[in-house]
Chains A and B, each alone.
Chain A
């Protein structure tokens, strides 16, 4: 995918938004779940505290007896992070064996009052708790501490019950959740991106179809954009087709104007030429010479203008065989009595369906000039062979005439050169063929034919498909 492609922009911007939204959602979830884990932990501490209270009583001797049924073995493992303590923080009456010889660092009661359970400040009254907070434990652990003042039966003064759990458990739960959450969200992001990619590909498929259609038009396989397109692209296709129509109409109009110009110029030239021919004197000679010059220029530039006009038309495609048949039929009649010793035969070998990627008139002009030339020089036979080689159309035209020496073959392709004045023709024929062929990125080559005559090879772009 290229950086400046529509697909890249769509996917990149959507990916940024997805990542942003998922991050915010992740942060929110993580915070909520973290709070929940903390309150769950607090509730558990509270249940454990109640278990501790239930297991505590004042014996007949007035001493505190604790038989806690907490179901939590870590209260007996030394410095496990799970502790309980009953009584004043500095002189506890009893404590969990996990505390060993340490005490729980119970902070002062709110308002700076001591944890005596006895109201020292009469005005404020006794503080009963509960209080929950974070403290540092004996082994450097971070502890969650729950403190309550409980008045046991048979004892006047309330006792301070404190229970603590290791915060590491909370942190571990949170970490586990965050890890799961991150994985889940990352997975979600990937799935979203994959769906996005698919959607962009499906969504942009019509553009790809247009691209393929345009390529087909350029390659000469199609003339117009066809097929169903989504409503948003329909106007584009219509406009493109209208543009193609317009281009064709312009070329056609230019062609018509050029034709009119040719007709308009050639008749006066003919009149001038004939008049000069029938008149004596220097002026007549001058006029005849200039008219000849003008005729050559008109021929050359009209041929070029017509060829330029067609070379740029998209989607042109011309079948070769009908053109060859038309030309052969016409040329046999043109040359019907220029060959005194027997008729002239034009043999065609061209598979049906073989097509030239270009305008019919240009193909006619090229093949017409080449065949005409071959007919002028041939003794009895002209043979034409057309074939396709990959994307190229190769036409070979052989005559059984006198041929052309190798060193003179390049000369005849030059503009306006006539090798032999005996045979009528402007001499522009081959040069014009070479010009038109060049416009189609084609090539014209002259060789010796096996029969001794001239072989002309024309290499042109073929139109693929049918």
Chain B
């Protein structure tokens, strides 16, 4: 899952990036509204954390521009301005949820998880694909009730595929959503991780669709 954090406070941005990375997200940072808008407009993010009080262009305007351009990724607003008029304005501009500063990181993570899940069309926090069960809250994976140990990279790949079950996901899409913008897109690291996941979970969960990409689907 790739997330954009638009926050002008350097320390807070660093903390968010560290925290989100620990939770398995690939994180890009933008320090002002202009840069944030550009990244959100051009890169395929799974969710965006947007501060409202931004230099150059304010958060509400950035959000309105994305929505006007048809960008539908879930946006979590971070704001010190927690008056109801500001919340109403935020939601009316197209926000999906908000967290008021100062906040607990755990709350940001929980909200973000829920947003990503809802955007992919899942009602429950647990995603199932055949015998494989993935709990987005605890980041734990079980196969037929038996816990499986996954590295962060492996978990991210599996989580993305399971969020988009029954859909063919191309290698490019996976790279775009699992790694931040500095990642070397030409490497064949995705294939390596898919191989390892198949070993750990059992080969029949992740299928290769030749020439197109991968798909998480229950074998019939």
Identify 30 residue pairs between A and B in the complex whose beta-carbon atoms are under 8 Å apart, listed by A's number: A259-B83, A262-B80, A262-B81, A263-B80, A264-B80, A266-B80, A269-B101, A270-B101, A270-B102, A271-B12, A271-B15, A274-B15, A275-B11, A278-B19, A326-B88, A326-B92, A327-B84, A327-B88, A333-B91, A336-B118, A337-B114, A360-B85, A361-B83, A364-B85, A364-B88, A365-B83, A365-B84, A368-B84, A369-B84, A424-B107
Residue-wise interface mask of A (241-266) relative to B, using a CB-CB cutoff of 8 A (1 in contact, 0 not): 00000000000000000010011111
Bound CA span A431–B78, Å: 24
Bound CA span A219–B19, Å: 53
Bound CA span A337–B111, Å: 10
Residue-wise interface mask of B (89-100) relative to A, using a CB-CB cutoff of 8 A (1 in contact, 0 not): 001100011101
Give residues 327-371 of A contacting B (CB, 8 Å). 327, 329-330, 333-334, 336-337, 360-361, 364-365, 367-369
In the complex the two chains form, is A333's CB within 8 Å of B15's CB?
A: no
Report if A267-B97 is in contact (Cβ < 8 Å); known contacts: A262-B80, A424-B107. no
In the complex the two chains form, is A330's CB within 8 Å of B19's CB?
A: no
Size of the A side of the interface (Cβ < 8 Å), in residues, is: 36
User: CB < 8 Å: which of A274, A306, A330, A336 contacts B105?
Assistant: A274
**Cβ-closest chain A residue relative to B98:** A334
In the complex the two chains form, is B96's CB within 8 Å of A333's CB?
A: yes
A273 adjacent to chain B (CB < 8 Å):
yes
Size of the B side of the interface (Cβ < 8 Å), in residues, is: 30
B9 adjacent to chain A (CB < 8 Å):
yes
Report if A329-B91 is in contact (Cβ < 8 Å); known contacts: A271-B9, A275-B15, A424-B107. yes
Chain B residues within an 8 Å CB radius of A277: 104-105
**Cβ-closest chain B residue relative to A326:** B88
In the complex the two chains form, is A267's CB within 8 Å of B9's CB?
A: yes
Report if A291-B81 is in contact (Cβ < 8 Å); known contacts: A271-B9, A271-B15, A274-B12. no
Chain A residues within an 8 Å CB radius of B98: 334
Bound CA span A265–B100, Å: 13
Chain B residues within an 8 Å CB radius of A259: 81, 83
Chain B residues within an 8 Å CB radius of A369: 84
Give residues 350-408 of A contacting B (CB, 8 Å). 360-361, 364-365, 367-369
B53 adjacent to chain A (CB < 8 Å):
yes
Chain A residues within an 8 Å CB radius of B183: none
B54 to chain A, nearest CB (A): 11
B87 adjacent to chain A (CB < 8 Å):
yes
Chain A residues within an 8 Å CB radius of B107: 424
Chain A residues within an 8 Å CB radius of B15: 271, 274-275, 278
B38 adjacent to chain A (CB < 8 Å):
no
Please report B residues at the A interface, Cβ cutoff 8 Å. 9, 11-12, 15, 18-19, 53, 80-85, 87-88, 91-92, 96-98, 100-105, 107, 114, 118, 123
A259 to chain B, nearest CB (A): 6
Chain B residues within an 8 Å CB radius of A273: 102-104
* Given A266-B101, A336-B118; 10 other pairs, CB 8 A cutoff: A264-B80, A269-B101, A270-B102, A273-B104, A278-B19, A295-B102, A326-B88, A334-B91, A365-B83, A365-B84
In the complex the two chains form, is A274's CB within 8 Å of B84's CB?
A: no
User: CB < 8 Å: which of A269, A278, A424 contacts B102?
Assistant: A269
Bound CA span A266–B86, Å: 16
Chain A residues within an 8 Å CB radius of B80: 262-267
Chain A residues within an 8 Å CB radius of B96: 333
**Cβ-closest chain B residue relative to A306:** B83
Residue-wise interface mask of A (425-465) relative to B, using a CB-CB cutoff of 8 A (1 in contact, 0 not): 00000000000000000000000000000000000000000
A300 to chain B, nearest CB (A): 13
A337 to chain B, nearest CB (A): 6
Chain A residues within an 8 Å CB radius of B104: 273, 277
